[in-house]
Structure 1
Amino acid sequence: MGDKLALIGVGKMGRALLTRMLAANHQVKAYDIADEPMATARAMGAATATCSAEAARDAAFVHVLVHDDQEVLDATLGPGGVLEGAGAGATVLLHSTILPETTARVAEAAELMGVDVADAPITSVPRRLEAGGGTFLVGGADDIVAKIRPHLESVGKAVYHFGPLGSGNVAKIAKNLTNAVERVMFAEAVEIVQAAGLDAVQFLDMARDVTTGATIEHWDKVILVADGHAGPQRARGMFSKDIQHAARLAAEYGLEAPVTRGAAAAAAKWIKTWAEEADQR
């Protein structure tokens, strides 16, 4: 039999995580503020509790997977919250995409009770997490991470320990930033081609057909990381001309296109930086 676990939050991601927990033969007691998710948890084979504190009682690991910072604080520090029930030696794992300061508030209160805390946001979507493809971005002390790593690996694919408490939060927020900006960027690109009278679907089909894979798959060819700094690899033609053309078209068509304009400004900054570096050689 596996570990005794508590799961706070049985939404889409929570249900997927619960599936992995049960598949690994862990004993799970779940809690959600809504009735339907609680019924779903019971139907899946988990026990349920009347509050977060009851779920956390006797659990070795308490998984908190709720929507936002305030819900995390309510679920852990509020009346009937996790810290009212978790015993000394338990570990609270905060999986939500939240600010490091929120994690720090929970950890500060938990430390007084002998309860460990680690931030462990999950990079996945429900179907991939349910299939075992969840990756945990972890922040916490080395000894705490050494304790939780085997457990997290029992329900997911990989564990990345980025550093002290809050590091996982920063990594997840930055990762989601790249996803969000890419979506906005494509939307703005489509606005430009539509304003010029082009067919949006044809353009998107073309972009999909000619892509050589996500940029991150070959990040070492496009991002330079050195001496504690990061920046784009030199791409003078794209930065000095192509992106500037895109910003000019957006302006001519009367589009706001804030990401396009911001990218053009950032590209101009890098062109200037590269020129200054060349002059210093």
Structure 2
Amino acid sequence: MSTTQTIGFIGFGAMASRMAANLVHIGYQAFAYTPSGKGGNGSVPFLKSAAEVAQKSDIVLVCVPDDEALAAAMYGPQGALAGMQANGLLLNTSSVSPEASAALLEAGRAKNVVVIDCPVSGSTPEAEAGNLVVLAGGDDAAMARAKPIFDCIGKATVHAGPSGSGTRLKLVINGIMGAGLAAVAEAIAYGLAAGLERNMLFDALDEVAVISPHHKRKIKAAKIGDFAPQFPSRLMQKDMRLLLDATARLAVPTPTLAAVTQQLSLGRRAAPESDYSALIGVMEQIVANDA
């Protein structure tokens, strides 16, 4: 692919930096901004504000951790919207609340900026390989404009529906992911407390069909004590909190997800920057201390 387009990144953490590398590889020019103002390399220079990045870019991709960071990056005289031109394209890959997503859509419309909410499913290995699944909300015309970006960063794009649908679908997916990990952690803790041999237990769980490939990867890493942050505990717990708030607003009873959020809060307290699968290690330590 050959392109003369420039893409600006607002937020340049573990996921965005890998997405940027794939886009630069196929010919996009890129700029980036982070609140710290630090970073940058030969292929992706850093600029002083989100507005400056937006002014220099044909497309803006934002990847920040939460509602507060999104608001700080998008609004005000130094925010990205202040620098965007009419008919600009803003891709919000952040995992945020439906309310934050809706507010950004309306602010974009007021400036004649096309906003797509497009969080991604996958962790750093998928981001590095360009194998993310993009969960996008927006109309067909907007989706067509974003397709070259989505095809580069992901192996598939799910057009979830109108604006806001991608945000909601991401909460569904992360809720299932968090609940599955919490169940795995508790079951492993029982097995260890009951006297099952540790290596046998972890290896057996890799053989059975009831555990997803994602969670099998987490179990393999936990076996050797590797909790390097592919998806930090603080972000997983944040997404569960957003999901609980969203379900409460619609009066959907979610007692299982409420209990899981408490378990993931334990993981966040113990190891906020470690992978969320560190909950397996936390539970193992609890039963080890009781032995």
Aligned to 2:32: 30
Aligned to 1:160: 158
Residues of 1 paired with 2:83 and 2:152: CA distance?
Answer: 24
Q: Check conservation: 1:24, 1:155, Cα contact below 8 A.
A: no
User: How do 1:132-151 residues align onto structure 2 when only pairs under 5 Å count?
Assistant: 132-151=130-149
**Structure showing greater relative contact order (alpha-carbon pairs closer than 8 Å, 6 or more residues apart):** 2
Name the amino acid aligned to 1:14: A
Name the amino acid aligned to 1:87: Q
Q: Check conservation: 2:205, 2:211, Cα contact below 8 A.
A: no
User: How do 1:104-253 residues align onto structure 2 when only pairs under 5 Å count?
Assistant: 104-211=102-209, 214=212
Residues of 1 paired with 2:128 and 2:147: CA distance?
Answer: 19
Residue 137 of structure 1: how far off its partner (Å): 0.5
- From the CA coordinates, give the structure whose radius of gyration is larger: 1
TM-score normalised by the chain length of structure 1: 0.71
**CA displacement, residues 110-148 of structure 1 (integer Å, 9 cap, x when unaligned):** 111111101011112223212221221000122211221
TM-score normalised by the chain length of structure 2: 0.68
Q: Measured at CA, do residues 135 and 159 of structure 1 come closer, stay the same or move farther in structure 2, by a change above 3 Å?
A: same
Residue 214 of structure 1: how far off its partner (Å): 2.8
**CA displacement, residues 19-39 of structure 1 (integer Å, 9 cap, x when unaligned):** 01211211111111124xxxx
Q: Check conservation: 2:23, 2:149, Cα contact below 8 A.
A: no
Residues of 2 paired with 1:89 and 1:80: CA distance?
Answer: 19
Residue 212 of structure 1: how far off its partner (Å): 7.0
Residue 78 of structure 1: how far off its partner (Å): 3.5
Q: Check conservation: 2:97, 2:167, Cα contact below 8 A.
A: yes
Aligned to 1:66: 64
Name the amino acid aligned to 2:97: L
Q: Measured at CA, do residues 181 and 44 of structure 1 come closer, stay the same or move farther in structure 2, by a change above 3 Å?
A: farther
Residue 213 of structure 1: how far off its partner (Å): 6.5
Percentage of matched positions with identical amino acids = 29
Residue 69 of structure 1: how far off its partner (Å): 1.2
Question: What is the Cα-based RMSD across aligned positions, in Å?
Answer: 2.6
139-148 or 204-213: bigger deviation: 204-213
